[in-house]
Amino acid sequence: MKICILGDGSWGTALALNLHYNQHQVTLWGRSPEHMEAIRRDGENKRFLPGIPVPPEIETTADLPRAVNGCDMLILGTPSQYMRGTLEKLAPHIDCKNQIVVNIAKGIETGSLLRMSELCRAILGNDVRYTVLSGPSHAEEVSKGIPTLVVAASDNLKDAKKVQMAFHNDRFRVYTSKDVVGVELGGALKNVFAIAAGIIDGIGLGDNSKAALMTRGCAELSRLGVKLGGRRQTFSGLGGIGDLIVTCMSRHSRNRYVGEELGKGRKLPEIITSMNNMVAEGVKTCESAKMLAEKVGVETPLVNGVYEVLFNDRPPREIIYELMTRKAKAEL
């Protein structure tokens, strides 16, 4: 297949390597001509995925019309808060009937509260052939060929299977699903809970606390997800608890890192500045998730607690005390 990845970050680059491994014709597109030339020249994405060779067969370009022309599949790798701009650039050049769009960004757009599938349809039209690819999959490990399992979800199961076969191999196993809502929300909200997990690490709490956070986070995710049309069983799968676990536990997680630094007492603007162009999707998603939960009347105490730390500068220990002293209730 001829496949274009729109987004030159670590995840887009890692998936370009996986698709190249499957012998597809792969183009990696980015906004900066200088950066795309640097990847080609250096044989490496030094800014976002240092130390991992990028074969010369993977074309790099900042020319969007040229990149997408004649492609069978377009991979959306732009961070969620910048996705609208990418889609607006893409709209005049996409062939919605013949090109499958695969979203790999995890988030909810601030302000509009749109999931990425909703944003795609708003800009590209209702005919867009949309699939979301998500699951416990850090770019650093995928780029090294470490065994990884993900899920491809689409309203059209035939398209989900086409995405499955495009990516599937002996080190990157892909399952299919029709629950776009559930997989998208799992990928978005796990970043918020990862910030909370990082706060636990930064404060110096223990395994009990983190296990409780992940379990109740999954319950919170399920409540909101089902209310918005997702399937409860999805949140027990790769796109739910699987992605939640890896993001809350991993040293690779940028969202967990933000939380850890907050737990140590650093302020959010300083943390973001120190991350050198790396995006922690959970910061903006937390704001969107809180507003979305309020809109549909779902209780999300963990999301609300993270929001208080991020945007109202509340001390993390104060939030933890409030969570621990909420009214006692049944688990289920």
Residue 190 among the catalytic residues: yes
Answer positive or negative: Cα dihedral of 209, 252, 32, 144: negative
DSSP code string of 83-149: HHHHHHHHGGG--TTT-EEEE----B-TTT--BHHHHHHHHH-TT-EEEEEESS--HHHHTTT--EE
Q: What kind and span of H or E run contains 174?
A: strand 172-177
Total length of the chain: 332
Q: Minimal CA–CA distance to 153: which of 125, 126, 186, 113?
A: 186
Of 190, 210, 227, 295, catalytic: 190
Q: Please, what is the angle between helix 254-263 and helix 281-296, to 10°?
A: 90
Concatenated DSSP letters of 29-92: E-S-HHHHHHHHHHTEETTTEEEEE--TTSEEES-HHHHHTT-SEEEE-S-GGGHHHHHHHHGG
User: Phi-psi bin for 131: left (phi > 0), alpha (psi -120 to 50), beta?
Assistant: beta
**Dihedral angle of Cα 214, 220, 221, 227, to the nearest 10 degrees:** 170
Active site residues: 190
